[in-house]
Amino acid sequence: MLMQLPSRRNSFRLAATAAVAALAALAPAAGAVAATGAPHTAASGTRPAAHPDGGGQYVRTVKLADGVSLGKIYKLGEHHFRMEGFTNGSSFGSIEAGPARPYAAGNLNGMITALDNNGNVVSWIQRTSQGGGPHTEKLADGETVAKVSRLGPQRHKATLSLGGHVLGSVEAPAGDAPYGVTRIGGLWVVLDIDGGIASYVGPADPDRCTVTSTINSLLPTKGMTVELTNRPVPASGPNGPQAILKDKNGTVITSINFNHPENTEWGLKMTDTRTGHPKLLDRRPKGTSAPRVTPFPALPKGCPTGA
């Protein structure tokens, strides 16, 4: 029977330089901390409903950053997921993200694990810290700036900005939720109640960062279309942009993608595939005219736009 263990707070500064072996040895005795936050809103101090029987439908198992721990992910409902952490078969706790609290994070002796309410998981070892309390620091992407302010005893807020423009904020309150968590594109930010920050650039949410549009094909067969799907390049997303040629019934005829950007037989070619702003070049049969140039749909704000 899977249990959601009680929260046990570990500051980001504790064991931030511990070796992987130490992480593994300490894992069964340490508890992950359940806490979430959201852009522009304070993290709630109320713990999501516990699921002591494991709850929900098993989705998958992922390997965590220490190389020995595993995270088992369960779907509890629409936009509602829980991740249970295990080392050597023993659970060290769980984190849960749902509609009201879309992000959650736990700190196991310097190994940060974060979950969103679409079931996406990232994990990393936080080896450095620029301190706690009120301060300003650059985050893992090297561009976003976090300005941490003190709101009260064991309560801090981080305002995030890029180029002088505020992107959002996250708050870490006291109580059973000592971590505030948010994500902007592929940048994850975890704030603890002492004002310490951990950040990581991970994969973008593949659902939110995938956009599709359809155009009519230039081929003479009536009803043929080209479906244009834009998404971050493989360094940040699943498979990058792609274009799919379909007949009038929606059956796939052929496709081109990030790794195979041209099909001369059907007159399809993609350009600018690494910029986040790809274009489709398609032409009429036998190349009798200059190719038509069609931009792919724009990626949503905050999604990575280059490899």
178 versus 250: which is more confidently predicted?
250
Of the residues 177, 201, 225, the one at which a domain ends: 201
Are residues 136 and 285 both part of a single domain? no
Residues 183-200 have a mean pLDDT of: 91
Report the b/e string of 263-282 with b at 16+ CB within 10 A.
beebbbbbeebeebbbbbbb
Of the residues 171, 201, 231, the one at which a domain ends: 201
Burial class of residue 25, CB neighbours in 10 A (0-12, 13-18, 19+): middle
Are residues 140 and 120 both part of a single domain? yes
Residue 234 lies in a domain: yes
pLDDT of residue 205: 73
Work out the percent of the chain whose per-residue pLDDT is above 70: 77
192 versus 178: which is more confidently predicted?
192
Q: Is the pLDDT at 45 greater than 50, yes or no?
A: no
Residue 306 lies in a domain: no
Is-contact 229 237, C-beta < 8 A?
Answer: no
How would you list the strands of the sheet with 121-125, edge to edge?
Answer: 103-108, 111-116, 121-125
Residue 33 lies in a domain: yes
Average pLDDT, the chain: 78
Residues composing the chain: 307
Domain count, the chain: 2
Residue 12 lies in a domain: no
Residue 103 lies in a domain: yes
Are residues 196 and 216 both part of a single domain? no
Residue 240 lies in a domain: yes
Cα-based angle 257, 271, 293 (whole degrees, multiple of 5): 110
How would you list the strands of the sheet with 225-230, edge to edge?
Answer: 211-216, 225-230, 242-246, 252-257
Q: Is the pLDDT at 257 greater than 70, yes or no?
A: yes
Are residues 177 and 217 both part of a single domain? no
Work out the percent of the chain whose per-residue pLDDT is above 90: 44
Digit-coded pLDDT (tens) for 99-118: 988 999 999 988 999 999 98
Are residues 83 and 166 both part of a single domain? yes
Q: Is the pLDDT at 85 greater than 90, yes or no?
A: yes
pLDDT of residue 174: 57
Q: Is the pLDDT at 135 greater than 60, yes or no?
A: yes
Are residues 252 and 290 both part of a single domain? yes
Are residues 165 and 227 both part of a single domain? no
Of the residues 201, 225, 249, the one at which a domain ends: 201
Range of 107's domain? 20-201
Are residues 145 and 269 both part of a single domain? no
Residue 40 lies in a domain: yes
Residue 242 lies in a domain: yes
pLDDT of residue 177: 64
pLDDT of residue 287: 57
